[in-house]
Amino acid sequence: MRNLLILYLLSIFTLAEAQFSDNSLRKQLDGLNNLSNFCNFYAKNPDMSQDTIFAVMLKKENIFGGIMGLYYAAQCFDKISEENILAAIIKTPLKPSQQLRMKEVFPNMSDKTHDKVMKMYADNSLFHYLNAKEKNTLASYRVYYDAYKGLPDPHNLFEEVSSKIEYLASLESDRIPEIGSYAREHPDKAKEMEARAFALTSERNSKNCEWYLSYFPNTPNRKEVERRLQASKIFERDEPCRACVGSGNCYTCNGRGVTPCKKCNATGRLASGYQCLDCRGKGQYLCTSCDGRGVCPSCRGSKKQFGTIYLKDKFQSHNALTMNAN
């Protein structure tokens, strides 16, 4: 009887100790907030269920960071359930191109789960397209174009987006050659493009007037543009543009249209290995001085200095020209 009592007390003590140990481990697990810490924790406690650890990880904000974090997690936890794999992919911000690589990251993923990932890719593609269509801006369509260029097009939207970008770029452009080229390629939009180009001609920009007459020779506005062209000769100074030193190129990007990202040193990735959010991993972004066009924002590519008329005879010539036009 006495021996039975001793065995009973020992079993209770052992059970309590195990329970205390489990609670202690769980408390340690809940306190972790770094992916490497979770991996180290599992290495020290291999008997604990991987799904239990992974479930705690999924409750943490931005635990994976990106595709490299998912890859690291897949190396540490190779026996997690399909539900947890899918949850991790959904939780992690991924580029469309990275969503297509999930089979490489999780080689043990079943075909059924992979099909769900591909459906998620298709749904995201449609969502981004509808978002761009709702905003209907050149920038919004370019975001879609950059994200899905060269990737599978499940809804056959890429051609439409490319056409829309070309149209909006010509509509928003302040360079008549771009507008004129689009008008020649799309005769149905020629009238709209001609109105846009005409709005860019002025008495202070001879180059735009010359371009307009070149791209729209049969325009009903020919007489007015010729008058503006003559007037612009008076406003132009016989000296190179001071901003670009007569090159016509943007003084910030030197005509390239893009500037290197300073935060990541043009690599696209930070020292920590994560993607640079400033340039979205491209290592460069559109020049803010010329909006990516590469031309000098001061002379708009004409290479000549513009400014107030500073000679008396030029005032007289301009007044005479204006009176003759009227």
Please report, for the chain, the start and end positions of each structural domain, with discontinuous segments joined by +.
25-94, 241-305
Q: Whole-angstrom Cα distance, residue 19 to residue 13? A: 10
Q: How far is CA 228 from CA 155, 175, 299, 320, in A?
A: 48, 17, 17, 13
Six token digits for residue 63: 């635990």
pLDDT < 70 regions, the chain:
1-23, 234-238, 306-326
Residue-level pLDDT at 4: 55
Percentage with pLDDT > 70 across the chain? 85
- In 3D space, the residue among 68, 114, 126 whose CA is nearest the CA of residue 92 turns out to be 68
Six token digits for residue 198: 């005409």
Global pTM reads 0.56
Mean pLDDT estimate for the chain? 80
Which residue carries 């949850």 as its tokens? 87
Q: Whole-angstrom Cα distance, residue 241 to residue 301? A: 9
Residue-level pLDDT at 259: 87
184-207 b/e with 16+ CB inside 10 Å = b?
eeeeebbebbbebbbebbebbbbb
* Contact indicator for 307, 215 with CB cutoff of 8 Å: no
Q: Whole-angstrom Cα distance, residue 19 to residue 51? A: 20
Six token digits for residue 118: 């591909």
Q: Whole-angstrom Cα distance, residue 255 to residue 244? A: 10
